[in-house]
Chain A
Amino acid sequence: MKRYEVIIVGAGPSGLSAAIEAAKRGVKVIVFDENEKPGGQLFKQIHKFFGSKEHHAKVRGFRIGDELLEEAAKLGVEVVLNATVVGLYSDKEVVVKIDESIHHYKGDTVIIATGAAENMVTFPGWTLPGVIGAGAAQTMMNLHGIQPGKKILMLGSGNVGLVVSFQLIQAGCEVVAIVDAAPRVGGYGVHAAKVARTGVPFYLSHTIKEVSGEDCVTGVTINEVDEHFTPIPGSEKTFDVDTVCLAVGLSPMSQLLKMAGCEMEDNPKRGGQVPIVDEYGQCSVDGIFAVGDVSGIEEASSAMIEGKMAGVCVSEYLGYIDEAEKKEELAKFDKDLSSLRQGMFAPENRGKVIEKTEEGIDISKNLLRNGFVADDEIERFPGVVHKVGVHPVIECTQNIPCNPCQDACSKGCISIGNNITCLPFVKDDSQCINCGMCVANCSGQAIFLVDEDLGDGSATVTLPYEFTPLPEVGTKGFGLSRSGEKICEAEVVSIKSVKAFDHTNLLTMKVPKEYAMKARFFKCS
């Protein structure tokens, strides 16, 4: 039996981060992963991450994956792929299936970073080919370069459902609707808004009645549900689709921890069966740690910090650093983690209905119901201002921990105030130079540059555009409202694509001036 100081199960964001922190301090680390490639789900994440600089904000997920792999390789972390861990015992014996044989390892410490599995819901037709998980859609389009389908209905309006819907449109697929049985959009409003303005309708308080098709999906029928989730007769709507995508939550893959005899609990706020852990991931069995989604569903940024914390803890456990150094390091990560766990989407707020922002502004009801902020709601948010000349309009309306916008502007036009979750505002005395960095750097694609009056009855709106084909200057088409409705004629007057924008193109369209604060997307005619 081979012995290692730390055995890590799972080479995703948390497992790799743990490995890096431990290896940095001289610990001998081995990481097992059942997949052919390391990186977990990071390589399927093509959107820019939220948070602050310390959390890799505005960096796309797959690039963070590359950085982690590079750092782990530099430190000599051994990653064994195609290696499925099938057993974990309380004395930290780990049983691994590699090819057709079983291998035994013994760890002085073990870090479980197995992540989560997708939840499913059942309805007539749910087993038909063409009904897929949202993760499957991401795997197909972002790893293997194939469209999951042509016409797709998304079930689930949490961040996964919203982000994957956007990615499907980027992959050239048509998303016919986003459906959720809940009465309110579950994910970030900015993710919903960037999908809604392309013309995708949201059906909240709706669920799938049935999926039709003989050999594969040919259609789907949804119906409205009342407050008890009971279907309302006569409310059926049918869509011709070839694919139905399920994004209905994740469950921790905590079986190994249970097997090892770690104390477990059923905690809906953390996503299901989870180990009871201290603040640094230490389970009830001494020397076994759990980090990332396996110890409670969150997202990759917090998973990476949890991994780092466990990496520091095992280094101290094994005697590579002393108690004082551990405390100092952990204090730093505590700060990073607590800043991520703030705002209205914080774990402690799960399931709560929040009516006002931290600033005391009424939350947009339309955003929660239909995925976009209505014209008569948008003006009350601090980032939405009117000025002479080009200026940023920041349609960020919920308190989420994110601040790249304020660093983006070299002229200091944008500030988010004291707290990372505060709504950004445009400073009164600031002078916008139309550089577009704020538009490109906003992970939520919620910043627009608007010149409300060119003097000839028209206005310009600059918006983030991450689709192909990229329209050329001079292309005529329509300005779409926040709801994705064609509201005016529009012409592309400028396209900016520079390296610093990282594939977020800046499309400037000219619209009649009365649409300056209404037109938020461009569609070719």
Chain B
Amino acid sequence: MSRIDEHPILGETKKGREVEFTFDGKKMKGYENEPIAIALKANGVMIHRYTKKEHKPRGLFCAIGRCTDCVMVVDGKPNIRTCVTPLKEGMEVRTQDGTKAAG
């Protein structure tokens, strides 16, 4: 999905410095301290995890840290709410499968 460069009311979006991170080993770019989920969305990633029993995809849903649908494995730690966790340089983000990293 596209970032909004010029908003009619809000003007230009304030962004942190551009940083590199990985998603399932693939290099991606985002802005420092924006939620991980936003950086993923800007890179077209929709699936954050698969459910444990039925292996169904889940993605960003509430975007305020309440529903836990967007949890992923971040720097080896599972169940990280990517919608409220700030992106940092070099973060390793992985799709979560049940309660573990996928693959």
A interface residues (Cβ-Cβ under 8 A, vs B): 34-36, 46, 60, 62, 117-118, 127-133, 135-136, 139-142, 144-150, 170-172, 215-216, 466-468, 470, 503
Contact = CB atoms under 8 A, between A and B. Distances in A.
Contact of B9 (A140, A172, A466): A466
Q: Please list the 7 inter-chain residue pairs (A to B) with the smallest Cβ-Cβ separation, ordered nearest first.
A: A129-B59, A145-B13, A136-B63, A216-B46, A129-B46, A139-B63, A144-B38
Among A35, A118, A139: residue with most chain B CB under 10 A = A139
Interface residues of B, number: 34
Contacts of A144: 13, 34-35, 38
B52 to A, nearest CB: 13
B8 A503 contact: yes
Given A144-B38, A149-B1, A127 B63 contact: no
Interface in B53-91: 56-66, 69, 83-84, 86
A172 B83 CA distance: 22
A524 to B, nearest CB: 15
A219 B49 CA distance: 21
Nearest to B45: A129
B62 A503 contact: no
Nearest to A466: B8
B8 A468 contact: yes
Contact of B10 (A132, A142, A216): A142
A216 to B, nearest CB: 4
B14 to A, nearest CB: 8
A75 to B, nearest CB: 26
B86 A170 contact: no
Contacts of A141: 4, 7
**Interface of chain B, main secondary structure:** loop
B10 A46 contact: yes
Interface of B: 1-4, 6-10, 13, 15, 34-35, 38, 41-42, 46-48, 56-66, 69, 83-84, 86
Given A149-B1, A150-B1, A216 B57 contact: yes
A127 B53 CA distance: 14
Given A46-B9, A216-B57, A145 B62 contact: no
A364 to B, nearest CB: 28
A468 B41 CA distance: 22
Contacts of B4: 141, 145-147, 171-172
Nearest to B35: A144
Contact of B63 (A36, A46, A140, A215): A140
Contacts of B47: 129, 215-216
Contacts of B84: 35-36
12 contacts: A62-B10, A127-B58, A129-B46, A130-B46, A132-B61, A133-B61, A144-B35, A145-B15, A146-B38, A146-B42, A170-B9, A216-B57
B58 A146 contact: no
A130 B2 CA distance: 14
A130 B41 contact: no
Given A60-B9, A468-B6, A129 B58 contact: yes
A172 B61 CA distance: 20
Contacts of A129: 46-48, 57-60
A135 B1 contact: no
Given A35-B65, A129-B47, A215-B47, 4 more contacts: A46-B9, A130-B59, A144-B35, A171-B7
- The winner among B4, B34, B83 for most chain A CB atoms within 10 A is B4
